[in-house]
Structure 1
Amino acid sequence: MMANNPSFDSDFEVFLADTPESKVLHYHIRYQVYCDEMGFEDKEKFSNELEFDHWDSHSVHFLVRYKRLGHWVGALRLVLPDKQLFPFERHSKLEEKISRNQYLQSVELSRLCVLKEVRRFSARKFAPYGLLEDSNIFDSSNVTVLQNYKNLGLTVMWGLLSAAALYCTQSNINYLYLLVTPALASAIRKEGFSLEQIGEPCQHKGQRIPLKWKIDDVIANPLWEGDYKNGFDLFSDRFAKDVNYLRMA
């Protein structure tokens, strides 16, 4: 039964936000997490309740949807190579400068976030970017499905990372760069992933570690053998003509 054997693919789905409307959903999730819930960003700068910056103009954006209720519960972006540094390079001192050739084969993974209603079921120390638990939950009997996950926040994160890795493979991108908390780096490594630390820890909304992650290593991990096989769909393929696509968590 589903309740006894929960899986990401059974309960969630990932979309690439390829329309203006879907990017609004993505930015609103970021606003909820980074402005409302965590206070990392100044709410006064985003009067429309959409958190975004100039990096978003050359990024790809992903969303996670909880199938049973239709709620949008998580987001992630990949900053594509352009004519400037990646965002994380502005905050950390690297041991070695990224070569131009490697830069063009890379993306930076950032704005990985999961809404508090999902994090409510997550072990605090593993929550993405050190996010805290919250007492609020989905107002639905379907919450029992979520309670069967050992660590729901981490499950949603893996679903996003799986979609990001697939996108990179399809786009001939070989490296991911990340600037993450020690707790998140530890959670990733516990699944057998090899993360290369490429600089000293820095202070950016708390302690962060600059990391390099080979896409081949991501794809080869056995974590994906039993779940996370559905990849991602284009938002435009599923919701472009559906007036319900603006339904949010």
Structure 2
Amino acid sequence: MLMFRDSHFDGLLADCPDLHTRCHRLRYQVYCVEHAYEPRDQPLAGEEHDAWDSAAVAFLLTHRASGVDVGTVRLVLADSPDGLPFSRAMAGHPLHLPECRGRVAEVSRLAVSKTFRRRVEDTHAPWNHPLERPLQDGAPAHPGPLFGLLRCLYAWCREAGIPGWCAMMEPALARRLAAIGIVGEVLGPVIDHHGRRAPYHFPLAAAEVRLRAQQPALWAYITGAAGPAGAAEAPQGRRRTGV
């Protein structure tokens, strides 16, 4: 399902087998080939899967001009029978869970293709490093694929009534997000998990207030209020789409 369309990207809810396959293939490229976080020898050749996919909602970002799949991310819901992925990763480490943990979902398997990043670097596209150069009021620069994926996540969560996200994240990325108003609460220590990462909780209500005040143009983009070209279609309910 199309969640939004802007001048560069289509944001899609993966609600059919074809879109799911494309998400898993992109995950394989990034997690198994480019970074070797997961083994290349997967049960389904060329696709990366794990135990939480059946309890998750997945999103896909495509580049409109080329048709290339740029990025994917999933949201593992709180009622997952295996719990949330970060809880297993943090087993044996102290955790300070948020009070609303029964309604918080986990953002994971965030992947943006290195092949696409290299391609746009060759053309000096404006979204090479969106966190170092956040969108400013009146600036023509596009905020980039990361924020396109965040736009999908935000729209779905607002419709579903999910109050916040958890994520395993590099502290440096958490600091860059905080600098533009997306402030995470640290839930535990830094561990070795796909690199040096720590668990964070991001309350959506607090992020909304800060983004609206500190980055109004980025806020307008994420909420789909940036104009007709960027207006988002409404998500259609709390459908779990994992396979």
Aligned residue number for residue 243 of structure 1? none
- With 12-21 and 82-91 compared, the bigger mean Cα shift is at 82-91
Question: Do 1:17 and 1:61's aligned partners in 2 also have CA atoms closer than 8 Å?
Answer: yes
Give the whole-Å Cα distance in 2 for the aligned partners of 1:29 and 1:114: 8
Aligned residue number for residue 112 of structure 2? 114
- Residues 171, 233 of structure 1: alpha-carbon distance in 2 compared, 3 angstrom cutoff: closer
- With 8-17 and 220-229 compared, the bigger mean Cα shift is at 220-229
Aligned residue number for residue 149 of structure 1? 127
Equivalent of 1:18 in 15, 24, 27: 15
Is 2:40 aligned against 1:43? yes
Aligned residue number for residue 247 of structure 1? none
The answer to which structure has the higher helix fraction is 1
Instruction: Name the amino acid aligned to 2:221.
Output: D
Instruction: Name the amino acid aligned to 2:115.
Output: E
Q: Report the TM-score when normalising by structure 1.
A: 0.74
Equivalent of 1:88 in 83, 86, 89: 86
Is 2:186 aligned against 1:197? yes
Query: Match of 2:161, SS?
Result: coil
Is 2:146 aligned against 1:163? no
- Residues 22, 232 of structure 1: alpha-carbon distance in 2 compared, 3 angstrom cutoff: farther
Query: Match of 1:68, SS?
Result: coil
- Residues 96, 151 of structure 1: alpha-carbon distance in 2 compared, 3 angstrom cutoff: closer
The number of aligned residues is 206
Aligned residue number for residue 221 of structure 2? 227
Question: Do 1:198 and 1:210's aligned partners in 2 also have CA atoms closer than 8 Å?
Answer: yes
Question: Do 1:119 and 1:152's aligned partners in 2 also have CA atoms closer than 8 Å?
Answer: no
Give the whole-Å Cα distance in 1 for the aligned partners of 2:13 and 2:56: 11
Calculate the aligned-residue CA RMSD, in Å.
Answer: 2.6
- With 21-30 and 175-184 compared, the bigger mean Cα shift is at 175-184
Question: Do 2:78 and 2:84's aligned partners in 1 also have CA atoms closer than 8 Å?
Answer: yes
Q: Deviations over 1:192-241 (max 9, x none)?
A: 2221001111111221011000011333313434534234677xxxxxxx
Query: Match of 2:221, SS?
Result: coil
Query: Match of 1:192, SS?
Result: coil
Q: Deviations over 1:61-114 (max 9, x none)?
A: 000010111111100000011234211011223433456xx2331100001110
Give the whole-Å Cα distance in 1 for the aligned partners of 2:15 and 2:182: 29
Give the whole-Å Cα distance in 2 for the aligned partners of 1:175 and 1:152: 22
- Residues 149, 96 of structure 1: alpha-carbon distance in 2 compared, 3 angstrom cutoff: closer
Q: Deviations over 1:164-210 (max 9, x none)?
A: 01211100111100101122212211212221001111111221011
Instruction: Name the amino acid aligned to 1:181.
Output: E
Give the whole-Å Cα distance in 2 for the aligned partners of 1:152 and 1:192: 14
- Residues 67, 199 of structure 1: alpha-carbon distance in 2 compared, 3 angstrom cutoff: same
Instruction: Name the amino acid aligned to 2:89.
Output: H
Percent identity over paired residues? 29
**Deviation (angstroms), 1:155:** 1.9
Question: Do 1:14 and 1:232's aligned partners in 2 also have CA atoms closer than 8 Å?
Answer: no
Task: List gaps (5 residues or longer) in structure 2.
Answer: 132-142, 225-230, 236-243
Give the whole-Å Cα distance in 1 for the aligned partners of 2:30 and 2:14: 18
Give the whole-Å Cα distance in 1 for the aligned partners of 2:58 and 2:233: 11
Query: Match of 1:161, SS?
Result: helix
Equivalent of 2:168 in 179, 188, 192: 179
- With 21-30 and 150-159 compared, the bigger mean Cα shift is at 150-159
Q: Report the TM-score when normalising by structure 2.
A: 0.76
Give the whole-Å Cα distance in 1 for the aligned partners of 2:41 and 2:179: 38
Equivalent of 2:195 in 196, 199, 206: 206
Question: Do 1:163 and 1:232's aligned partners in 2 also have CA atoms closer than 8 Å?
Answer: no
Query: Match of 2:45, SS?
Result: coil
Aligned residue number for residue 135 of structure 2? none
